[in-house]
Amino acid sequence: MTALVRMRLAGFLRTGRALAPLLAGLVVLGTLYGGGRSQPAEAYGVSAVVLFPVLAWQTRILLDIEPDVQRRLAQVTVGVARERLAGLLAAGVAALVAVAVALLFPWLVGGVTGPVEPGDRSVPVGIALGLWAHLLAVPAAVALGALASRASVGGAAYGVAVLALGGVGAVALGLRGSVAPWLVPPIMATARTTAGDAAALTLLGLTLWAVAWSAAVTVGYLWRRRAQG
Amino acid sequence: MRLENVWLRYHRRGPWVLRDVDVRIGPGEVAVVLGRNGVGKSTLLQVAAGVLRPGRGRVVDRPARVGWVPERFPADQPFTVSGYLTGMARVAGLGSSAADKAVTTWTQRLGLDAFSSVRLPELSKGTAQKVGLAQAMLRRPGLLVLDEPWEGLDATTRELVPELIDEVLADGGTVLVSDHRGETVRLPAARRWSVAAGVLTEETAPTGEEAVAVVEVAVPAARVASTVARLRAEGHQILRVRADTSITAPQARPAAAPLRPTGEPALDQPEGADAVEQAAGEAR
């Protein structure tokens, strides 16, 4: 299965279509950090929010690059479960690379600052919280992107609709006072937490929420794949 | 391997493409799937290979290693021939050196050496089809499923396909193959599965005096009309006459024999056949 993950990543990188989400990510990060300096935890919380739809889009591109017949060849060779898992893992690896870029980016452009006032978080704690916020976004974005992929929804228009609904919904339904925040992954709640009081129980709760949401959407993806044959 | 009461349709409310297919095939056996376009041959093969999941019924005892040659190889991929085959060999579970060895072996056997560093989208249809054939054979399959494997192949490689099938059978493997060109008469021991309206029936091959084979004979273009007339007078059935620019000296290929069962009309017509057709027309 590792070989299939490598092959799919190689296909993604060699087509040049990896450039589009990379550039989009750099644009949103540039816009985010162009407005001034902020402390790492706060900056990274927002960074995870803006990266969420980009990572989902990247996942969809990665999975859609492979021709349908080639995906079936892989399925025949390694089996149904491993073929599905390899796609998700390849997308996860690509997302982690993007996260690494996102974590480094503000240091390269001077977008972050250390503690300013007494009581501010230290830089390592801020980075740790930022890493956590991004890692919560990765499985959710991969699951959403997979659900929007051609193998899952069939037509390109449906895929775009799923991506748009997921991306916009994550922000709109994630606002404070939302009537159904559990319908979307907790990326907005995570950003609020990293900017404010990050109690251990809150972090645990958000982590479980993100894992449960990602698992539910992944099950939806696998169900769609099964239904598509 | 057995397909047990397999039903399949592509959409919930769509028509059934396969209806109650119940068939068994054992190790060392080859079956040819016959039928008109759109009757479900490829669907049946994909169910057998594990690409498609039956809506009803099931496939049991499918060999662990399956090689599938799709009807059209997906050449729209950013790999070179050797890069793709090496990747597929690794995906099939071969180690680094075993993968390299397998790729070398099959690129040589299929005449792909010269294309090793060529990117897949740049390949001709026939060469891409060879890559499809190679990827299925990199690790000897217990079940080899070939969907129109002769399509687009050159004469040399067409001759190689039955050889590959025999090798899989000799190792105790099972082979399923579809064909609308009549090339499968090269597989005289094959069982014949006929698919019509989604229903599979097994044909009994004619034996003894009833058995018919097709012999392809190359003759100088100028003698086409007389040869056709003579053969017809001797009681042979002329299936078709075509040009073959790959043959410069007819005597060099006296018994090239893509055998075709009588009654199966040839569906393809190579370019440049007009002149020969005209000559043959005089004899018809």
**Which has the higher per-residue pLDDT, B209 or B148?**
B148
Confidence of residue B263 (pLDDT cuts 50, 70, 90): very low
Q: Which residue of B has its CA nearest to A72?
A: B51
Contact B91 A70 (CB under 8 A): no
The most confident of A109-118, B20-29, B185-194, by mean pLDDT:
B20-29
**Which has the higher per-residue pLDDT, B275 or B166?**
B166
Identity of the residue numbered A158:
Y
Write the residue in B51, B67, B78 that is nearest to A72 by C-beta: B51
Cα–Cα distance, A197 to A121 (Å, whole number): 10
pLDDT at A16 over 90: no
- Domains (range + CATH), chain B: 2-203 (3.40.50.300), 212-283 (no CATH)
Cα–Cα distance, A12 to A23 (Å, whole number): 15
**Which has the higher per-residue pLDDT, B183 or A57?**
A57
Confidence of residue B269 (pLDDT cuts 50, 70, 90): very low
Q: Collapsing DSSP states into helix, strand and coil, what is residue B179?
A: coil
Average pLDDT rounded to a whole number, residues B16-31: 93
Contact A76 B49 (CB under 8 A): yes
Cα–Cα distance, A44 to A30 (Å, whole number): 13
Pick the closest to residue A54 from A119, A114, A144, A189 (CA basis). Answer: A144
Q: Count the neighbouring beta carbons within 10 Å of the beta carbon of residue A182.
A: 11
pLDDT of residue A52: 96
pLDDT at B281 over 70: no
Q: Which residue of B has its CA nearest to A3?
A: B91
DSSP state of B229: H
Q: Which residue of B has its CA nearest to A226?
A: B53
- Residues A41 and A192: beta-carbon distance below 8 Å: no
Question: Which residues, in sequence order, are CB contacts of B125 under 8 Å at separation 6+?
Answer: B152
Contact B74 A67 (CB under 8 A): yes
Q: Which residues of chain A form beta strands (DSSP E)?
A: none
**Which has the higher per-residue pLDDT, A40 or B257?**
A40
pLDDT of residue B207: 62
pLDDT at B73 over 80: yes
Confidence of residue B214 (pLDDT cuts 50, 70, 90): confident
Which of A137-151, B122-136, B167-181, B269-283 is least confident? B269-283
pLDDT of residue B215: 79
pLDDT at B205 over 70: no
Buried-exposed string A145-163: b where 16+ CB fall within 10 A, e elsewhere: bbbbbbbbbeeeeebeebb
Pick the closest to residue B23 from B5, B8, B7 (CA basis). Answer: B5
Confidence of residue B272 (pLDDT cuts 50, 70, 90): very low
pLDDT of residue B252: 43
> What's the mean pLDDT when you consider all of chain B?
84
Confidence of residue B254 (pLDDT cuts 50, 70, 90): very low
> What's the mean pLDDT when you consider all of chain A?
92
pLDDT at B37 over 90: no
Distance from CA of A94 to the nearest CA of B (A): 18
Task: For the sheet with B2-8, list strands across it.
Answer: B18-24, B2-8, B56-60
Sole residue written with tokens 């895929």:
A159
As given in the structure block, the two tokens for residue B93 are 């579970």
CB contact A6 to B (< 8 Å) = yes
Average pLDDT rounded to a whole number, residues B259-276: 42
pLDDT at A223 over 90: yes
Pick the closest to residue B238 from B254, B258, B215 (CA basis). Answer: B215
**Which has the higher per-residue pLDDT, A228 or A76?**
A76
Average pLDDT rounded to a whole number, residues A172-189: 92
- Residues B132 and B161: beta-carbon distance below 8 Å: no
Number of cross-chain residue pairs from A and B with Cβ atoms under 8 Å apart: 60
Write the residue in A3, A15, A69 that is nearest to B74 by C-beta: A69
Percent of chain B with pLDDT over 70: 83
**Which has the higher per-residue pLDDT, B244 or A19?**
A19
Cα–Cα distance, A55 to A61 (Å, whole number): 10
User: DSSP alpha helices (H): ranges in chain B?
Assistant: 41-49, 81-91, 96-109, 125-137, 155-170, 224-233, 274-283
Range of the domain at A138: 2-228
Contact B92 A74 (CB under 8 A): no
CB contact A229 to B (< 8 Å) = yes
B56-60 and B2-8 strand pairing: antiparallel
Question: Which residues, in sequence order, are CB contacts of B54 under 8 Å at separation 6+?
Answer: B3, B6, B7, B8, B18, B47
Average pLDDT rounded to a whole number, residues B151-176: 90
pLDDT of residue B245: 64
Counting every residue written for chain A, the total comes to 229
Which of A78-82, A143-147, B152-156 is least confident? B152-156
Contact A7 B10 (CB under 8 A): no
Confidence of residue B274 (pLDDT cuts 50, 70, 90): very low
Report chain A residues whose CB lies below 8 A from the CB of B78: 10-11, 14-15
pLDDT at A229 over 80: no
pLDDT at A198 over 90: no
Cα–Cα distance, B274 to A196 (Å, whole number): 82
Query: Could you tell me which residues are beta bridge partners of residue B177?
Result: B32, B146
Which of A94-108, B19-33, B181-195 is least confident? B181-195
Domain count, chain A: 1
Q: Which residue of A has its CA nearest to B9?
A: A229
pLDDT at A146 over 70: yes
Residue pLDDT, tens place only, B84-110: 999 999 999 999 999 999 999 999 999
Q: Which residues of chain B form beta strands (DSSP E)?
A: 2-8, 18-24, 30-34, 56-60, 66-69, 143-147, 174-178, 191-196, 199-203
pLDDT of residue B180: 75
